[in-house]
Amino acid sequence: MTKLHIFSDFDGTITEKDTLVFLATHLGGGAEMVEAIGRLIVEGRMSLRDATIAEMGSIRRPFSDAVNLLRERVRIDAGFIQFARWIEGRKIPLTVLSAGFHQFIDLFISRDEFPHIEILANSIRPDEELGWQCEFRDETHWGHDKARHLEEARRRGEYVIFIGDGLSDRAAAEIADEVFAKHSLAEYCRERGINCHEYQTFTEILKQLQSRF
């Protein structure tokens, strides 16, 4: 049988809220700034990368404030743990691809509990004077070209499944063999005629996959 490889976005996909938007709203420039940036992105006047730099740069707080707030107020999808355990049992590779930051992801997906999950994300350097500084993986508009990892997997002959919800997931959705999408990514797939499963929770994705693999 063809080897499966599952790739998933993190913010808004594995978590119910986007951790960057959440932190910029509560610890940084506030809701108005975040909304203004959101409009610029939608209008195509600001890249996701520049938006992320602006949002993170508006935070001048110690990292521990973010840790406390994220742990208190952001939840992961209720079905994700069971999904991750099933993947592990079946020895299916799972890679989390994020245009966000691994320091936030580590709070929700513990490396000790889930050593089989590969996490590829950008890095944040909290700076209370200059504002938090972003270290991106590459030079693309998203600061992390997710599609490249899917291309490599396909070149290795793997059957690639991608799970996502937003803007930085579009190019990956275009080249995946199969897509699970929600929110704006589902709309994008509909508009572009990209075949996708529209989903709400990882429990649905798990059921789908268990019936076939």
Is 77 one of the binding residues for Mg ion (CB under 5 A)?
A: no
Q: Using CB under 5 A, which of the segments 2-10, 24-32, 35-43, 60-68 binds Mg ion? A: 2-10
CB-nearer residue toward Mg ion: 12 or 143: 12
Query: Which of 9, 55, 77, 145 is in the footprint of Mg ion by CB under 5 A?
Result: 9
CB-nearer residue toward Mg ion: 24 or 210: 24
Contact 191, 174 (CB under 8 A): no
Site string for Mg ion, 126-165 (x = CB under 5 A): ---------------------------------------x
Query: Which of 11, 55, 77, 145 is in the footprint of Mg ion by CB under 5 A?
Result: 11
Question: Within 13 Å and on the Cβ side, how many CA atoms surround 143?
Answer: 20
C-alpha dihedral, 108 to 15 to 79 to 94, nearest 10°: -70
* In the complex, minimum distance from the CB of residue 134 to Mg ion, in angstroms, rounded to a whole number: 16
Query: Which of 166, 170, 179, 196 is in the footprint of Mg ion by CB under 5 A?
Result: 166
Is 12 one of the binding residues for Mg ion (CB under 5 A)?
A: yes
Distance of CA 41 to the CA centre of its chain: 17
Residue with tokens 């580590």: 106
Q: Inter-axis angle of helices 80-89 and 202-210, to 10 degrees?
A: 30
For the chain, give the number of residues.
213
Find residue 96's DSSP bridge partners.
8, 119
* In the complex, minimum distance from the CB of residue 144 to Mg ion, in angstroms, rounded to a whole number: 12
* In the complex, minimum distance from the CB of residue 105 to Mg ion, in angstroms, rounded to a whole number: 12
Q: Using CB under 5 A, which of the segments 12-20, 26-34, 81-89, 199-207 binds Mg ion? A: 12-20
Classify residue 69 as exposed, middle or buried by CB count within 10 Å of its CB (0-12, 13-18, 19+).
middle
Distance CA 10, CA 177 (A): 19
CB-nearer residue toward Mg ion: 13 or 58: 13
- Per CB under 5 A, residues contacting Mg ion are 9, 11-13, 165-166
